[in-house]
Structure 1
C-alpha cells in the first residue's frame, strides 16, 4: 500500500508557512541545475518566494512563535525523562534564529537589492516572458560558466536562509505536537472537534484506491470528506464506503 500524507492548515499563518516551505523545497530541487530551463525554473520559484515574503509580516509571526516554542521547551525541561542535550541544542537554535530575525528589520531585504534580479523579475510575471528577446541580460547570464552561476544561486539563496531555517524549525515543532491515530470515515466522512491551539490537521490514507481527503470547518469543528479522483459522469465524486485512515491534530 502506498500511503499519502495530506496536511490541512486551520489558520492563515500556518497556510503561509506551508506555502513557503513548499517553495523552499522546490528551490532546493533545482539548486543543482544544469540546463537553461532548470535555471529558469529556479528564477520562477525564487520570485514567487520573494513576492510571498514581501506580502507577509513574517518577522512578527516568527518572533512570537519562536518565543512560544522557547517557553514550551523550558517547561519540558522540568520533565525527568527529557533529553537535556537535545533540549539545549533546540534552545540554542531558537536563540540564534531570534537573534538573526531581530537583526533583519525586513526579512529578505538583501535579495531585493540585487540589481540583476530586479531587472528580470517583472518579465517573469508575463507568460513566456523569459525569452532571449525580452531578457537579453538573462540570456547572457545563462551562457556564463557553470561555477559562476552556481555561486550566484548560492548567494541569492543565502539571503533567504533565515526565513528557510525559521520555517523548518517552526513546522517541525508544530508537526511534533500531534501523533497519528487510527480513524474511520463512515460513508466517506469524518468529523472532529477543534481543540485549543490546533493549527494543522494531518491525514494519512491509502493512495492506491483513487480517493483523496478534503477538509472544511470552522474554529469549533471540522469535517473530512473523501472524494474519488475520477468520478463517474453525474456523480458528486464523494466516496460512499467506510474508509480507514490515520489522523494527527497538531
Structure 2
C-alpha cells in the first residue's frame, strides 16, 4: 500500500468512526447525551472558528448560567439571573442570531440528508434529528420579530441595563424599583422570568441542537503536546467550525488555543495562583483533540 492509499484509508476509517459516534448517541429534551472517549471525567475547552459558532457558544453559556441562578430562590440569585438575561439580549442584538441559526440548521439538514443511506447511520436517531430540525426551522421562520425585542421594551430591565455598567449602581438608593421587585415572593419572580424567557425558547432549542450536532460530528482523538506545545496543519478544503481540547480532571494545566483555516496551535499553561501569571509548562501533556465540522 503506497502513502496516498494509506492516507485515504485512514481518512475513511476516521470518517466512519465519526459517523458511528455521532449517530450512535441518544437524544433527550433537544440535547444529546454528552460523553467523551477514554474517561468520563474530562475538562472540556473549546475554540470557535467562525462568528456564527462564537455567538452560539456564548448564548449556550449564558442560558446555562441563567438556569443555575433561576433555581436559586434568593434575591441575589434573581439579580444574577436578570443580569445574565440582559447579557443574552445584548448578544442577540449584536448578530442576527435567528438568521444565522436558520442558515446553520438548513446547512446541517442538507448534510444529514446526504448521509441518510450510509450503512453505519442509525436511521431512528437520524430521523429524530431531522424532525427536530424541521420543527425548529418552521418555528424560526414564523417568528415575526427579532429575538429579545420584548426585553428591550421592558422599563425595569432597561433601567438595570443602563445602571449595571456603573460600579455599585444597582444598590437600593440608585434603583429602588429593582429592590422592590427582588423583595417579592420567589414564586412571583419566577413567573416573570418564565414570561421573559418564553419568547426565546425556540432560539435556545435551535442553538442547543446546532451546537450539539457540531460537537458530535467527530470523535476526539488522543494527542500529545511535547513540552506543552502542539501544532497541527489543517486541510484547507475542510470547513472546520470548532476545536475541542479535552483533559483529564486530574491535570493541573489548561490550554491556550489559537486556530485559523491553516493550523491549530495549543499551548498548555499553568497558573501561578499567587500572582495570577500564566506560564507554559515544559513537560509532555496527553490530551484529546476534536476538530469538529458538519
TM-score by length of 2: 0.78
Residues 28-39 of structure 1 mapped to structure 2, 5 A cutoff: 28-39=67-78
* Structure-1 residue corresponding to 2:134: 95
Aligned equivalents of 1:54 and 1:64: distance in 2?
Answer: 18
Per the TM alignment, residue 112 of structure 1 is displaced from its structure 2 partner at its CA by: 2.4
> Is the contact made by 1:111 and 1:159 (CA closer than 8 Å) also made in structure 2?
no
* Structure-2 residue corresponding to 1:120: 160
* Structure-2 residue corresponding to 1:69: 108
* 1:158 aligned onto 2:206: no
Per the TM alignment, residue 236 of structure 1 is displaced from its structure 2 partner at its CA by: 7.4
Q: Deviations over 1:86-119 (max 9, x none)?
A: 2222112111211221222412223323343234
* 1:217 aligned onto 2:256: no
* Structure-2 residue corresponding to 1:246: 288
Q: Secondary structure at the match of 1:73?
A: helix
Query: CA distance change for structure 1 residues 236 and 67 in 2, over 3 Å: closer, same or farther?
Result: closer
> Is the contact made by 1:70 and 1:94 (CA closer than 8 Å) also made in structure 2?
yes
Per the TM alignment, residue 231 of structure 1 is displaced from its structure 2 partner at its CA by: 8.6
Question: Which stretch of structure 1 is more off in the superposition, 119-128 or 40-49?
Answer: 119-128
Uncovered stretches (5+) of structure 1, i.e. residues with no partner: none
> Is the contact made by 1:229 and 1:237 (CA closer than 8 Å) also made in structure 2?
yes
Uncovered stretches (5+) of structure 2, i.e. residues with no partner: 1-38
Aligned length: 249
Q: Deviations over 1:35-56 (max 9, x none)?
A: 1111110111011111111111
* Structure-1 residue corresponding to 2:176: 136
TM-score by length of 1: 0.91
Q: Deviations over 1:169-195 (max 9, x none)?
A: 000111011211111111211111223
Per the TM alignment, residue 246 of structure 1 is displaced from its structure 2 partner at its CA by: 0.9
> Is the contact made by 2:254 and 2:270 (CA closer than 8 Å) also made in structure 1?
yes
